[in-house]
Amino acid sequence: MKKPLLLVLTLTGFGLYGFLGLALYPYFLITGFKEAQVRKFFYMLARGVFWVVKRAAKSFTLEGAQNIPAGAAVIAANHSSILDILCMAEFGREDIIFITRGWPSKVPVMGAYVRAAGNIRLEDTGGSDAALKAAAASAFRKGLKIIVFPEGARGPEGVLRRFRSGAFMLALDFKVPLVPVALKGLGGMIPKSGFWVNATDIKISALPPVENFSASADGAPALKMAQYVKTLIAKKLEEK
């Protein structure tokens, strides 16, 4: 795809995100930023922006949507692009929240949406496992799916870094399914250090849920599960 068209798509996608966020802010401010409404707005906005993203891609493949269960679950995905957040709407589910930290909740206007949607902000937990579990318990009671990027921050496309064990602790403690998701090509489309859209082949794959995971007695179950899921995602990313 020619660069001028990619430039137009970049401006269209981010322009749509910013314009709608600003345009509807007074409405949500008046109505009190109701959690379910804000989640629905984010879902619709993400689908709209990602529609633009797909127009810029060389190819787009979505597989395994049937592996996303109804009701409470944890979804763990690799992380290499800001697009990783938006692409989760492609599974067609509005009942999702994220575990976030730092900048997403601090961005003017959009930060208000992040906070109001019921996302779990690590800065609110003070680094306490008990506080994190309490927040997760509240989300699971509502039947929500918690999306986690276990690497903690964006990294290079195709390179998996250490998976932290927090998401896996939640899946084990609350006995909910954990769905590994492999994201391929998004880090090349908009890398961590970039802004403009590049044409790449995108593949989003939800793998079968990991349930009833049992770790050997010689190690922490959450850490073992993290290593296991990292291996599953790595194998999927290696596929042609």
Mean pLDDT across the stretch 56-63?
93
Compute φ and ψ for 137, nearest 5 degrees.
-60, -40
| Lookup: tokens for 212 | 């009833």
Give the predicted TM-score (pTM) of the model.
Answer: 0.88
Confidence label for 2 from pLDDT (cuts 50, 70 and 90): very low
| Lookup: tokens for 135 | 């927040």
Name the DSSP class of 97. E
Confidence label for 15 from pLDDT (cuts 50, 70 and 90): low
Confidence label for 6 from pLDDT (cuts 50, 70 and 90): low
- Percent of the chain clearing pLDDT 90 (strictly above): 51
Please write the tens of the pLDDT for every residue from 65-109.
999 999 999 999 999 998 898 899 999 889 999 998 877 777 777
* Cα–Cα distance list, 173 to 98, 139, 148, 195, 211 (Å): 18, 14, 16, 38, 12
Q: How far apart are CA 220 and CA 165, in angstroms?
A: 9
Instruction: Return the pLDDT at 79.
Output: 95
Does position 9 have pLDDT exceeding 70, yes or no? no
Provide the number of structural domains found in the chain.
1
CATH code assigned at 177: 3.40.1130
Q: Say what angle helices 3-23 and 35-56 make with each other, to 10 degrees.
A: 170
Range of the domain at 196: 3-238
| Lookup: tokens for 189 | 């489309």
Instruction: Return the pLDDT at 138.
Output: 95
Coil, helix or strand at residue 224: helix
How far, rounded to the nearest angstrom, does the alpha carbon of residue 142 sit from its chain's CA centroid?
18
